[in-house]
Amino acid sequence: MLPSCLRRQFLIYKRGVAVSEEKAGLFEIGRLFHEFLGRTFRDGGLTVKAVEAPFFIVSLCGDELIKISGRAGLIISLNGEDYIIETKSIRNLPREPLRHHVEQLQFYLAGYGLTHGFLIYLEKSFLKSSIFPVSFSLEDFRRLLNRAALLHKHLTGDLMPEPDAEKWECWFCEFKEECGKNLKGGGGRRF
């Protein structure tokens, strides 16, 4: 979630927003798909080390520790090397991996100390798929850790961050009324 709008994340923590049934359904579909993929890979002779694999990253923010946690889709082993695989269902297959998905994978790779992974997009209506390799980038990971530290400072200081969403994020945001961002204005982006 850290790659998404900082203001939205702040409001989720502060308001304790319940996940909508629709979004909870999407999470469940993702989990089921990871399990299905795990079985398919195993049947195909691949070594699947973990499905829905939890990770924790602890980082220093000034004199405080911040903890980032999540679940990586799958960890597979191929020719002696481990890879993270993350799947996303999507309306239309992208020509290249979406930035926030690549950033999400950076945390998974860091959490398991791995250098390579794959993003698999599955088109919802036509059951087509695309696969993109993703490599760990220390520079991107450092940037994301700084972002985590920034969110931590806003939360502990009870100070609302500036909106930094991409336009599409606002369309689906639970806080668009409260936020007051001009949704017609497009998204700025950050770092």
Q: How many CA atoms lie within 13 A of 6 on its CB side?
A: 22
Q: Say if CB 130 and CB 137 are below 8 A apart.
A: no
- Alpha-helical (H) ranges within the chain are 6-15, 21-43, 99-112, 138-157, 167-171, 176-179
* Binding test (CB under 6 A) with ligand SF4, winner from 55, 108, 118, 175: 175
Minimum CB separation of residue 155 from ligand SF4 in Å reads 14
Q: Say if CB 66 and CB 153 are below 8 A apart.
A: no
Q: Say if CB 116 and CB 135 are below 8 A apart.
A: yes
Minimum CB separation of residue 74 from ligand SF4 in Å reads 29
Does 169 engage in binding with ligand SF4 (CB under 6 A)?
Answer: yes
Minimum CB separation of residue 185 from ligand SF4 in Å reads 10
Does 68 engage in binding with ligand SF4 (CB under 6 A)?
Answer: no
How many residues line the site for ligand SF4 (CB under 6 A)?
Answer: 12
Strand pairing of 81-90 and 116-123?
parallel
Does 151 engage in binding with ligand SF4 (CB under 6 A)?
Answer: no
Minimum CB separation of residue 51 from ligand SF4 in Å reads 30
Does 100 engage in binding with ligand SF4 (CB under 6 A)?
Answer: no
**DSSP summary character for residue 112:** H
Q: Say if CB 112 and CB 79 are below 8 A apart.
A: no
* Binding test (CB under 6 A) with ligand SF4, winner from 8, 101, 147, 152: 8
* Binding test (CB under 6 A) with ligand SF4, winner from 5, 66, 76, 102: 5
**What are the residues binding ligand SF4 (CB under 6 A)?**
5, 7-8, 163, 165, 169-170, 173, 175-176, 179, 181
